[in-house]
Amino acid sequence: MKALLIVNPSSGGEQAKEFEEMAADKLRESFAEVVVKHTEKEGDATRFASEAAAEFDSVFAMGGDGTVNEAVNGLAPHDKRPNFGFFPLGTVNDLARALAIPLDPKEAIESFAVDRTRKIDIGQVNQAYFTNVVAIGMIPAAINNVEAEEKTKLGKMAYFVSGLREVRKNESHQFEVIAENNGEKTTIAVESSTMIVGSSNTIGGFESLLPKASTDDGKLHLIYLKDTNLWETVKSVPELLKGVTESNDVLGYQTFDKAAIRLEDGATIETSVDGDPGPELPITVQVLPQHLTVYCGAEKTR
């Protein structure tokens, strides 16, 4: 078998250089040929993975959530999709958490086993793909405004600090969501500062935000804050962090196969996709059930 290892040298405070050789040696225990490629700019991981789809049996990424997202975007459009694996080096590493892959790079490499795989759902937003989350409003503004230096210095707390800055602005919007389940459509009018579409239980490093969600349930999960002012936002956030299983007075919850999301007044607003800037509204999001076979941690073996 033949494997491609895509390495982002700038991920994890440039730890990739330290772990690249270790990962390649580990993969050579299971693959007859291991090819290593380094990313130099945005889009390289997508291009490398796409080019490898027809030739390689497996594609691996070493980097943060952005590198993982890029590699998945390279594989997802193809009819023939190699197995996908990754060694996490980022700040949050949501998909690694959801798949029980160790967050310590050395441990993730040492524990890799070629016979541990599972099929997972992939989300699609417009023409792009995601593995974890599409966020709209206050949260993506907070995520997109975090500088690389802050992430290196503060880790996950950098997002929390940026979030506090955005909460003070307290800007709510009128949304229309047309959600589709098994061909039946439901229209929801929402006033909110924040909407989150998740495909697994782990979002932003919080591993119980969506307790009912899993990477292979064939659904996307929508959470939104029911907030029109700062006080309502302050009340909503602690409830959000407890985990959401149903709608209540301060939070809304909905599952769907496909949804169209827009602002009522036709305006635009930024989104965040797997932690990086995404398309502006309006957007269409949908689930691609069990679309990708991934290498996972021992606890998630199926």
- Residues with a catalytic annotation lie at 276
| Cα separation, 139 vs 164, whole angstroms | 10
E strand intervals along the chain: 2-7, 33-38, 58-63, 83-88, 117-125, 128-130, 133-137, 173-181, 184-192, 194-198, 220-225, 251-256, 258-263, 271-273, 276-277, 283-295
298: three-class secondary structure by DSSP? helix
Task: Report the distance separating Cα 205 and Cα 107, nearest Å.
Answer: 18
Q: What region, left, alpha or beta, does residue 12 occupy, with left being phi > 0 and alpha being psi -120 to 50 degrees?
A: left
CA distance to 88, 103, 127, 137, 138, per residue, from 143 (Å) = 19, 21, 22, 10, 9
Sheet strand arrangement including 220-225 = 251-256, 220-225, 194-198, 133-137, 271-273, 276-277
